[in-house]
Amino acid sequence: MTNLPIIHMPLNEIYPDDSESDDSQELYDRNRGAFVDTVGCQIPIAMIPYKKYKNRQKNCGKRAVFLKKVDDGYIADNTFPNLMAALSGKNMSSISNSCYKRMDVCNEFLIWNQFKNSGYVTAYGEDYLRLPDTFSKEYTYNNVPTDHYLRPFYLHGEHELFNRSLVCTGKVTSGQHLLDYAYDFALTYRFSMFFGVFWMNTFSHNVNSYPEEADKMFEGFLNRLTYTGILENTFIIFFSDHGIRFGEYRLDPASYYEERNPAFFMWAPVRFQAHYPLLFKAAAVNQFRLITPYDLYNTLVNINTLSELRNYTEGLSEACPLCHSIFREISGNRTCADGSIHPKWCPCHKLYPLDSQDMEGMKSVVYASTKIKAMIKTIKTDRCWGCLKLAIKNVIRIHFYYNYLSLYYVVAFSMTPGNITYEAVVSKKGPHLELVGDISVISVYRGLGKCAPNQRDRLFCVCKKKENC
């Protein structure tokens, strides 16, 4: 299996724009014209996202035969904003305005609906439904969004035993069943056109998950697809929403980049490589460029236009006008702003270490801790409960980076009581300090904030019952 041609998506820095020629647009337009001339090039899609975990090569050695150098950028915290960016091309503000408590109405602009309108059979599946990360709570579907929909099965058949999510009688893990379904789905419709999204949580979402257990399972899945011949005209995309965010590993400075570089890689079918060599070449170049979920959305739209023999139009992502399909070469000078990546989540800079007692760095730590204390005062709790006042316990690391506008401090510190660890990015312009994005909690949640109804508030609150109440 070592000879499978894989497009590996990008790393954690922007490379110099050495290989992009002046006639790249001309080459793209020339190949784009071939969309109309080529007859019978059907390109079904299988899309299997999974969450990234630390030491991917170590934990996933067999998959590493297929998957190497598989990092890209992400645009927001948590799963839902990143997943919706890839499926709709919209940011979370637009999603909230349009889809809050009415996901059925919003289904029309999700990518699987576009494929369905083009004659594709569609599917969506997700395991470990106890997580509130995707289509749940305020973003729940009341009607079936795709032709095949696995949520009802997992709602009734999934249970947890010994820190493993199992289905039915417990003989099969939730993740294995999801991959088996994806395989059966592809096999059933191999002579038609299909598009499936299968989102796997169980093997890597939590700190105590076992990502290495999925290694052989993924290898078997890819091998089975290969033997059927499906991969000759089927794209397979693996991607994750974000890197590891919690746990002891986040104390390491390298985890700053790990969190901001989720996995993204693609299998390009043999038929596509033969019919569109210039597009395939552009995608191969882009494995060393900064790519976002908005580019993935544009790429999926591009693939759909290929199957319909239509011309692809640029700038289809509402949230990122400068983003485009990875089948057109991305500039090596692309910035996070070009990719609509918030400065908080931008990985395109080098961190320089400072001593944990550095006076200027400590000002940023104190500034961030003051913001936390002020926020805790506003947290609403259950009756007879309140949040304890916190104080700095120790400073774990201080780094800085800079650009032509500002100096930025990246600080990690713990507060007591509760021993909660935080990471913050603080910008400094002259004497003025300002938070860049939200403060992140990077220690494992231990249930200390259960008295706060709001899920986000629970990460910052250490509950204590009031006396005489």
Is residue 200 within 8 Å of 239, Cβ to Cβ? no
The string of pLDDT tens digits covering residues 242-257 is 778 888 889 999 999 9
267 pLDDT higher than 70: yes
**Average pLDDT estimate for 292-318:** 84
The string of pLDDT tens digits covering residues 368-385 is 999 999 999 999 999 999
Lowest mean pLDDT among 63-77, 329-343, 348-362: 63-77
Which amino acid type is present at position 254?
A
Residue 96 and residue 107: Cα distance in Å, rounded? 13
Stronger pLDDT, 275 or 164, i.e. the higher one: 275
The residue written with tokens 């820190």 in the block is: 163
Residue 264 and residue 253: Cα distance in Å, rounded? 22
Is residue 128 within 8 Å of 165, Cβ to Cβ? yes
Q: Supply the pTM of this predicted model.
A: 0.84
4 pLDDT higher than 50: no
The string of pLDDT tens digits covering residues 126-184 is 887 766 667 777 888 889 999 999 988 877 766 665 555 665 656 778 888 888 999 99
- The stretches of 350-423 forming alpha helices (DSSP H) are 359-377
